[in-house]
Amino acid sequence: MNWQPYKLPYKLIESAAEIGPLVESLRGREVIGIDTETTGLDPYRSRLRLLQIATPEAVWIIDCFRLTRADLDPLRPLLAGPTPVKIGHNIKFDAKFIAHHLGIRLDGVADTYLASLLLSAGSETDRHGLDRVVARYLSLNLDKQAQRSDWSGELDQSQLDYAAADAAVLLPLWEEMRKRLEEADLLVTADLEFDCVRPLAAMELAGVHVDVGRWRALLATFQQRHDVVEAELQAALGAGVRQQGLFGTPEPINLDSPTQVREALSRIGIELEDTREWRLQKQKQVDDHPVISWLLEHRTLSHNLAAYGENILEMIHPVTGRLHPDFRQIGTPTGRMTCNSPSLQQIPHTTDYRSCFRAPEGRRLVIADYSQIEMRILADFSQDEALISAFDQGADLHRQTAAEMFDLPLNQVTQRQREYAKGLNYGLVYGMGAEGLASRLETGIVEAKGLIERYFQAYAGVARWLEAAGEEAVNVGRARTASGRLWIFRLDPIDPVQQAALRRVGKNGPIQGTASDIFKRAMRLLDEALDGLDAQIVNAIHDELVVETEESIAAEVERIVSRTMIAGAREFLTRVPVQVDVTIGEAWLKGR
């Protein structure tokens, strides 16, 4: 069946006088559909052409080329306020154009794209474009062909029909999806997500500032060192190669090719299964051949130059002079966000790189992260008295853990015992086994098993919770976070390998997912608290927020960030104290 909502009357608004009747028609409504058509994808370089507003009776199409910003003022409270609820599909996109071109921070939204992601509960195969979602939930066929048409000129009938249809379908779609969310107990999570659209749109629009000169200088030193190391390696690895060419110069090997590197190593008597870092590290312990060290250094340098090099500078926006990454709000089944173009979530955590991300003149960065949030979630979930008490004592979790494990007073814990405890604290939330722990701590498998046993004796509640979570993943095939976010595991519980994986994600999923619930709640609370201040979230990395602010209010912003992040966590964690570490600085560096 073909959906023909353009049979609904649509009204083209081309003058300020027509805004009044529109506002009148929207008065008292609970939900409206919102869509925009733009001349491109970049809010800074493309224009907002149409703003469509759908009610059950009609679609209003505002031609933004014919109206001024001021003409739209009567719509401001409707778009920026909590009601009516604005339904959109990937409405962050529209929100960015509305913010930049109309100066209105769209809020009070519900998003059928995010809703679709939540209902799919981690499916990697489901697609979430409006046409696919309409097909899935309304069994209707929606024509998206006009989407990429030229929206900058005189509009034809088919374009207006398309614009109207896209907006009109949102109301019946939301009506259906809302029911599904309710049935699946996902309404709380959905609201949590919808509340994050405003902070995310603002964050992407703001972008981050990079010190280009500093970045280039860093790359130059890397390049120089890279060339030195490259020459050393060619000399060392070329030794066994048959001399080629007229002057007997050896053919250089491509050091970026794992195959060629492995063959070259073999020629000088080093046989390896592959050339991954961990294997090279292992080989280094057996035979500290200088080639291995060179190779390890070369890897880091060439990776840095390729992944965090000139390519990142090319992404600096010509209009703003800043980096504007794309965040996918629900990027993983656990609810974590992902980030690309560039991914600001994987900039190396070294001073040289991070110091290139600086606040502009007269401004400061406030950098805040949760301290061991996943361990705290585990403590709260498991209600383990010893782990909760470890957090209640404050201080050093790993030392506390070691003291519990080895039944020692805190001041008698050795460095090695602390390392063991740390390995366990980090590893067990991922469902690590004895083998993994053994190689991580460079001990034997028997010792590792003993350590795990001691750990679970000290934290018996944790052991029970993890066991039950793994068991439930196998038996039920799904898990939920504190907000109710659902992850349906698509793994076969019969297959031993997949069952082991199932147990691991069953343990880790709810913990990682609750951390993202908390983080998103904090983003929303912070966004609200910063309203009216010259301060803006500019980066978000799983448990860390970076806020750029005017220098003179940095201390105030620091307090606000700390307070709201703790408040976000408080909504989901009751028994465990939450700690947030905050720094004010000129660059993206932690600690004062």
Partner DNA sequence: TAGAATCGCCAC
Partner DNA sequence: AAACGTGGCGATTCTA
Q: Which residues bind DNA (CB under 7 A)?
A: 122, 254, 256-260, 262, 274-282, 299-300, 303-304, 306-307, 311, 328, 331-334, 336, 338-343, 345-350, 423, 426-427, 430-433, 435-437, 439-440, 497, 501, 504-505, 508-509, 512, 541-544
- As measured in angstroms, the least distance from the Cβ of 436 to DNA is 2
- For residue 48, the surrounding DSSP H or E stretch is strand 48-54
Q: Which is nearer to DNA, 311 or 389 (CB)?
A: 311
Distance between CA 372 and CA 391 in Å, rounded?
10
- 3-class secondary structure for 459-493? CHHHHHHHHHHHHHHHHHCEEECCCCCEEECCCCC
Distance between CA 251 and CA 469 in Å, rounded?
56
Q: Which is nearer to DNA, 54 or 541 (CB)?
A: 541
Q: Which is nearer to DNA, 348 or 444 (CB)?
A: 348
Residue 240's nearest CA partner among 258, 267, 273, 272 is 267
Cβ neighbours, 10 Å, residue 535: 23
Q: Which is nearer to DNA, 49 or 299 (CB)?
A: 299
Look up residue 255 and give its DSSP letter: T
Q: Which is nearer to DNA, 23 or 220 (CB)?
A: 220
Distance between CA 109 and CA 53 in Å, rounded?
13
- As measured in angstroms, the least distance from the Cβ of 124 to DNA is 7
Q: Which is nearer to DNA, 14 or 277 (CB)?
A: 277
Distance between CA 60 and CA 168 in Å, rounded?
10
Q: DSSP string spanning 407-460?
A: T--GGG--HHHHHHHHHHHHHHTTT--HHHHHHHHT--HHHHHHHHHHHHHHTH
Tokens of 390: 């470890």
Residue 97 and residue 48 in contact, taking contact as beta carbons nearer than 8 Å: yes
- As measured in angstroms, the least distance from the Cβ of 417 to DNA is 18
- As measured in angstroms, the least distance from the Cβ of 427 to DNA is 5
Look up residue 591 and give its DSSP letter: -
- As measured in angstroms, the least distance from the Cβ of 67 to DNA is 37
- As measured in angstroms, the least distance from the Cβ of 306 to DNA is 3
Q: Which is nearer to DNA, 29 or 328 (CB)?
A: 328
Query: Residue 338: helix, strand or coil by DSSP?
Result: strand
Based on the number of CB atoms within 10 Å of its own CB, is 227 exposed (0-12), middle (13-18) or buried (19 or more)? exposed
Q: Which is nearer to DNA, 468 or 589 (CB)?
A: 589
- 3-class secondary structure for 124-154? CCCCCCHHHHHHHHHCCECCCHHHHCCCCCC
Cβ neighbours, 10 Å, residue 361: 8
Residue 565 and residue 580 in contact, taking contact as beta carbons nearer than 8 Å: yes
Q: Which is nearer to DNA, 167 or 479 (CB)?
A: 479
- As measured in angstroms, the least distance from the Cβ of 10 to DNA is 37
Q: Which is nearer to DNA, 102 or 280 (CB)?
A: 280
Distance between CA 474 and CA 500 in Å, rounded?
9
In angstroms, how far is the first alpha carbon of the chain from the final one?
63
CA dihedral over 476, 479, 485, 491, signed as positive or negative? negative
- As measured in angstroms, the least distance from the Cβ of 434 to DNA is 7
- As measured in angstroms, the least distance from the Cβ of 106 to DNA is 25
- As measured in angstroms, the least distance from the Cβ of 275 to DNA is 4
Tokens of 417: 């015992």
Q: Which is nearer to DNA, 501 or 533 (CB)?
A: 501
Q: Which is nearer to DNA, 154 or 271 (CB)?
A: 271
Q: Which is nearer to DNA, 495 or 534 (CB)?
A: 495
Give Cβ neighbours of residue 318 (< 8 Å, ≥ 6 apart).
45
Q: Which is nearer to DNA, 27 or 148 (CB)?
A: 148
Residue 520 and residue 193 in contact, taking contact as beta carbons nearer than 8 Å: yes
- As measured in angstroms, the least distance from the Cβ of 408 to DNA is 24
Q: Which is nearer to DNA, 162 or 588 (CB)?
A: 588
Distance between CA 304 and CA 226 in Å, rounded?
10
- As measured in angstroms, the least distance from the Cβ of 452 to DNA is 10
Tokens of 388: 């909760």
Distance between CA 568 and CA 528 in Å, rounded?
12
Read off the amino acid at residue 430: Y
- As measured in angstroms, the least distance from the Cβ of 541 to DNA is 5
- As measured in angstroms, the least distance from the Cβ of 429 to DNA is 8
Our CA angle for 566, 569, 571, nearest 5°, is 115
- As measured in angstroms, the least distance from the Cβ of 415 to DNA is 19
Beta bridge partners of 546: 367, 539
Distance between CA 104 and CA 72 in Å, rounded?
10
Distance between CA 107 and CA 204 in Å, rounded?
16
